[in-house]
């Protein structure tokens, strides 16, 4: 009995240490850059705020197109790191909501979009998207919620094989980068089999994985050959155009 007790105590200690290590790892996300913090301030075009649930809300001050864009962050990336892109997209007329995730991992909060849809019932058209792991979980939500979602945006991302959308009529935009060391061009190409044949692809020559946000370099990525601001401009342009098209679709 003493031996068994020691084994159990040791096992519980190992499990506790492992869980503590995971929590510490997950709660140390990539931090926003100075540019991201600056984009968290409202300007003449967009009101930036945190709602009651801690979600980042980028609300156009001028004319709105009726589209709400839910953005899932990449794995272990602070949601605020997407502020430069989110504010620029909102300036084109769409409400943008960046959803914080449990332990900064969208795989632990794939249904977070439903809470947003239930809260902001004045939005006419909902499009969901995400960066990297966030995009994969956005694709999962879109597959499971076909009545709520009218479009999917993937930034350096693709669906899991269990979330095959190839037979779906859902409009999809896939924005990728030639210097991405994680969602590599080869992986983006292979994942075409999981997306609708009508998917729009927008590769960015010289861009990389980390410059879909604003949080510095990322392990495993390649160095970009274009400035972050130029990559943001191209991502924003493709995404905002896609959202504007979604606004014109019959509901």
Cβ neighbours for 196, distance < 8 A, ≥ 6 positions apart: 165, 166, 167, 168, 169, 170, 171, 172
Assess contact for 199 and 191: CB atoms under 8 A. no
Rounded average pLDDT over 103-114: 91
33-247 in CATH: which number?
Answer: 3.40.50.1820
Chain segment 60-95, per-residue pLDDT in tens:
998 899 999 999 999 999 999 999 999 999 999 999
Rounded average pLDDT over 124-149: 97
pLDDT of residue 210: 98
pLDDT of residue 21: 43
- List the 46-50 sheet strands across, edge first: 46-50, 56-60, 95-98, 67-72, 125-131, 151-155, 172-177, 200-204
pLDDT of residue 250: 66
pLDDT of residue 20: 40
Per-residue pLDDT band for 207 (boundaries 50, 70, 90) equals very high
Q: Above pLDDT 90, what percent of the chain? A: 82
C-alpha closest to that of 48 among 102, 85, 78, 101? 85
CA pair distance 213, 34, nearest whole angstrom? 12
User: C-alpha angle with apex 48: 251 to 99, nearest 5 degrees?
Assistant: 60
Chain segment 8-38, per-residue pLDDT in tens:
444 444 334 333 443 443 456 689 999 999 9
**Model confidence at 125: pLDDT above 80:** yes
State CA 243 to chain mean position distance.
15
Chain segment 141-190, per-residue pLDDT in tens:
999 999 999 999 999 999 999 999 999 999 999 999 999 999 999 999 99
pLDDT of residue 8: 45
N- to C-terminal Cα distance for the chain?
Answer: 67
DSSP, collapsed to helix, strand or coil, labels residue 219 as coil
**Model confidence at 133: pLDDT above 70:** yes
Cβ neighbours for 198, distance < 8 A, ≥ 6 positions apart: 169, 171, 172
Complete DSSP assignment for 91-153? TTT-EEEEPP-GGG-GGG-TTHHHHHHHH-TT-SEEEEEEETHHHHHHHHHHHH-TTT-SEEE
pLDDT of residue 84: 98
Assess contact for 159 and 136: CB atoms under 8 A. yes
**Model confidence at 45: pLDDT above 50:** yes
pTM of this prediction?
0.89
**Model confidence at 1: pLDDT above 90:** no
State CA 145 to chain mean position distance.
17
């Amino acid at each position: 009995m003493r031996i068994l007790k020691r084994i159990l105590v040791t096992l519980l200690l190992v499990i506790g240490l492992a869980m503590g290590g995971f929590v510490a790892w997950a709660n140390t996300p990539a931090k926003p850059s100075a540019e991201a913090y600056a984009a968290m301030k409202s300007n003449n075009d967009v009101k930036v705020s945190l709602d009651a649930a801690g979600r980042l809300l980028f609300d156009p001050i001028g004319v709105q197109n009726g589209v709400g864009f839910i953005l899932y962050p990449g794995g272990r990336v602070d949601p605020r790191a997407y502020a430069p892109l989110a504010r620029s997209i909102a300036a084109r007329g769409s409400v943008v909501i960046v959803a914080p995730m449990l332990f900064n991992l969208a795989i632990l909060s794939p249904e977070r979009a439903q809470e947003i849809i239930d809260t902001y019932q004045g939005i006419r058209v909902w499009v969901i998207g995400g960066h990297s792991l966030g995009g994969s979980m956005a694709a999962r939500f879109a597959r499971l919620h076909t009545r709520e979602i009218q479009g999917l945006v993937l930034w350096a991302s693709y669906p899991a094989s269990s979330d095959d959308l190839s037979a779906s009529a859902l409009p999809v935009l896939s924005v990728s980068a030639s210097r991405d060391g994680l969602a590599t061009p080869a992986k983006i190409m292979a994942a075409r089999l999981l997306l609708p044949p009508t998917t729009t692809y927008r590769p960015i020559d010289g861009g990389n994985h980390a410059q879909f946000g604003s949080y510095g370099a990322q392990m495993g990525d390649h160095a970009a050959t274009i400035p972050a601001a130029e990559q943001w401009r191209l991502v924003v342009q493709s995404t905002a155009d896609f959202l504007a098209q979604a606004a014109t679709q019959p509901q």
